[in-house]
Structure 1
Amino acid sequence: MQIQQYALALNQQMRAETVKKQCKMCGKVTIFTDTTIRRHNANGKNIYQFAIYKCPKNHSWNKKLNIYKSFTEHVDPQSIVPTSFVEIEPGKKITSLKRGDSSCEIKITSVNGSFRIDRTLADHLEGWSRSEIAQNIKTGKILLNDCLTKPSQKLSVHDKIFIDVK
């Protein structure tokens, strides 16, 4: 049995959004526009991610996007992904995975945004529908970090997806 190994970096396309809210500096309700700049603050073992919004007079407002745990040790992400993993380029799909004859392992090397396992696999596996992927996740043919999961599970850095399609 040959297991194909791939590495995947997930990056969400950012678009400028607007929010109508009270600007404390202007003293009135105004439209804040997302600058698509992200800021991270660390506090103890938590890291907070913020989106920076600006009003027309250039006053800023920070919207909290995410809270995640920090590493206890400093780790080079490149050292965690074995060199035998083939990097999946943005916009490319895995075409060599055929139902019934092989297995595949995908290592998530970076995540910028929010990604569900079923949508991500549907975007990166050639010839697989999202409903087929969801069914395989529910039956245990697709595992996340060697455990059963649900199709709506969000992916994180260093997650490992194993696909057994025999």
Structure 2
Amino acid sequence: METKQYSLKLLKKQEADTVKKQCKMCGKVTIFTDTTIRRHNANGKNIYQFAIYKCPKNHSWNKKLDSYKSFTNHVDPATLVPSEFQAIEEGEKISLSVADHQSYEINIAGADGNFRLDRTLADYIEGWSRTEIAQRIKCGSILLNNCLTKPSQKLAVHDKISITIKK
């Protein structure tokens, strides 16, 4: 059985957000605007992601967005996602047909933000609804890292999605 391989880079669309809150430097309630700059801090076990906001007088405030578990075996990402994988571009959809291939593999080359397995596949696979994808995940024809999972599972960098289409 031939396996067709794809790589996917997931990026969250960033828009300037505003928050009304107390500025400690100005001493009054003011509007903070998201600069769309992100900062990461680490303490050994966790990595924290912050959004940097600025008030009209250029004072900054950091909003905590997410925290991730760090890992000890750091590797070069280029070695984990081979270059022969066909890259899926933003807005592009892939067509999975039984005639050409029965097995597909999608490797997550990058993930900036929180992405659900079922929603991501519905966005990138042509002709499949999110409900149909959720049923395929539950029955085991869609695996994440060669394991059964739930449709709401969050995707991370270097995850491998295996799709087997049964005739």
Distance of 2:66 and 2:39 partners within structure 1: 11
Report the counterpart of residue 57 of structure 1 in structure 2: 57
TM-score (norm 1): 0.93
Residue identity matched to 2:78: Q
Report the counterpart of residue 13 of structure 1 in structure 2: 13
Unaligned runs of 5+ in 1: none
CA positional deviation for 1:82: 2.4
Identical aligned residues as a percent: 71
CA positional deviation for 1:47: 1.3
Report the counterpart of residue 146 of structure 1 in structure 2: 146
Report the counterpart of residue 39 of structure 1 in structure 2: 39
1:107-138: CA deviation from partner (whole Å, max 9, x where unpaired) = 10111111111111011111111111111111
Residue identity matched to 2:6: Y
Distance of 1:99 and 1:60 partners within structure 2: 54
Report the counterpart of residue 115 of structure 1 in structure 2: 115
CA positional deviation for 1:89: 1.8
**Given the superposition, is the C-alpha separation of residues 138 and 99 from structure 1 closer, same or farther in structure 2, using an over 3 Å criterion?**
farther
- Partner of 2:122, secondary structure, is helix
Report the counterpart of residue 98 of structure 1 in structure 2: 97
CA positional deviation for 1:57: 1.3
Paired residue total: 165
1:37-67: CA deviation from partner (whole Å, max 9, x where unpaired) = 0001121132111000111111110011111
Residue identity matched to 2:139: T
The residue correspondences of 1:23-34 to structure 2 (distance < 5 A) are 23-34=23-34
Residue identity matched to 2:27: G
Distance of 2:59 and 2:83 partners within structure 1: 46
CA positional deviation for 1:99: 5.0
CA positional deviation for 1:35: 0.7
Residue identity matched to 2:103: S
Distance of 2:29 and 2:148 partners within structure 1: 47
- Partner of 1:152, secondary structure, is coil
Q: Note the aligned Cα RMSD (angstroms).
A: 1.4
Report the counterpart of residue 79 of structure 1 in structure 2: 79
Unaligned runs of 5+ in 2: none
Distance of 1:131 and 1:17 partners within structure 2: 32
